């Protein structure tokens, strides 16, 4: 069965610092992996997705993620945090499309 | 840009009342989903719908829940007799197949 584990329910960084949000997955077949962002009182916005093409995926707002099969990881990074990046981030997995399984979410805080 | 729209954005109801949450998926999409997010928790899959029938449902989706696509455009989630623990944000999503597109969500508060 598919599952996603996000390490750290809350991450705090300073503005301009590196953002690293961790995601590990479990899947019996090659997965499709996604990162979504949720701003307060809003819906889910797709940041980026991995669907078996390039292992380094670039998304919106300067975020990127690297699929590492050997580590079953899909960590999200951004070189320089901005105040507007403060939000909840969800990693999700699906096997070949369709139903998404979400991780617990990581709340990112950005300090001035 | 096409988007998934959900109504109402917020509904407050009394325990035991029936609630219908509505979604208008993207017009050429074939797969439809409902997800739930209890405050402070992760987004949980409820049900998927394809070809006018449920294709998969989670343990959460018990007999109190039902979905239908009554007119080829709307996709509704009905909760027959709401409980306090049904208070959550409910997200609708649609897919062609492929990428899921989510609506803004409907917040349900059960008193």
Question: Over the stretch B2-15, which tens digit does the pLDDT of each residue have?
Answer: 799 999 999 999 99
CA dist., res. B28 & res. B12, Å (int): 32
| Residue A72 in this model has a pLDDT that exceeds 90 | yes
Q: Which residue has the tokens 């050997």?
A: A70
Residue B94 has pLDDT above 90, yes or no: yes
Q: Length of chain B in residues, anyone? A: 111
Tokens found for residue A83: 């105040």
| A79 SS3 class | coil
* pLDDT in the model for residue B42: 86
CB contact under 8 A, B95 and A97: yes
Tell me, what's the pLDDT at B97? 78
Closest by Cβ to B99, choosing from A45, A49, A105: A49
d(CA B44, nearest CA chain A) in Å? 7
Tell whether the model's pLDDT for residue A76 goes beyond 80.
yes
Q: For the beta carbon of residue B58, count every other beta carbon within 10 angstroms.
A: 16
Q: How many CB pairs under 8 A join A and B?
A: 44
Residue B34 in contact with partner chain A when CB distance is under 8 A: no
Residue A96, pLDDT above cutoff 70: no
Identify the pLDDT of residue A53: 77
Sequence-separated (6 or more) residues with CB below 8 Å from residue A41: none
CA-to-CA distance for B110 and A99, rounded, in angstroms?
A: 27
Model pLDDT for residues A40-67, shown as the tens digit of each residue:
878 888 999 998 778 899 999 999 999 9
Alpha-carbon gap: A103 to the closest alpha carbon of chain B (Å)? 6
Single out the residue of B41, B44, B19, B17 nearest to residue B33, CA to CA: B44
Q: Is A7 on the interface with B (CB under 8 A)?
A: no
Task: Tell me the residues of chain A between 41 and 70 that have a Cβ less than 8 Å away from chain B.
Answer: 42-46, 49
Q: How confident is the model at residue A99 (pLDDT cuts 50, 70, 90)?
A: confident
Q: Is A99 on the interface with B (CB under 8 A)?
A: yes
* Token pair recorded at residue A52: 């078996």
């Amino acid at each position: 069965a598919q599952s996603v584990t996000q390490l750290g329910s809350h991450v705090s960084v300073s503005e301009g610092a590196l953002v690293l949000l961790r995601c590990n997955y479990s899947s019996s077949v090659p997965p499709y992996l996604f990162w979504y962002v949720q701003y307060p009182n809003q819906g889910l916005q797709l940041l980026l997705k991995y669907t078996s093409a390039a292992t380094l995926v670039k998304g919106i707002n300067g975020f990127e993620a690297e699929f590492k099969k050997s580590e079953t990881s899909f960590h999200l990074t951004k070189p320089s945090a901005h105040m507007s990046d403060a939000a909840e981030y969800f990693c999700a997995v699906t096997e070949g499309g369709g139903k998404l399984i979400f991780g617990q979410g990581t709340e990112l805080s950005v300090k001035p | 840009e096409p988007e998934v729209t959900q109504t109402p954005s917020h509904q407050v109801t009394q325990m035991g009342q029936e609630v219908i949450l509505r979604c208008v998926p993207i017009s050429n999409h074939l797969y439809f989903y409902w997800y739930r997010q209890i405050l402070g928790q992760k987004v949980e899959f409820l049900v998927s719908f394809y070809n006018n029938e449920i294709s998969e449902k989670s343990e959460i989706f018990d007999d109190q829940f039902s979905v239908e696509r009554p007119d080829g455009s709307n996709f509704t989630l009905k909760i027959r007799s709401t409980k306090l623990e049904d208070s959550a944000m409910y997200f609708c999503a649609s897919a062609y197949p492929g990428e899921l597109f989510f609506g803004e969500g409907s917040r349900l508060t059960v008193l």
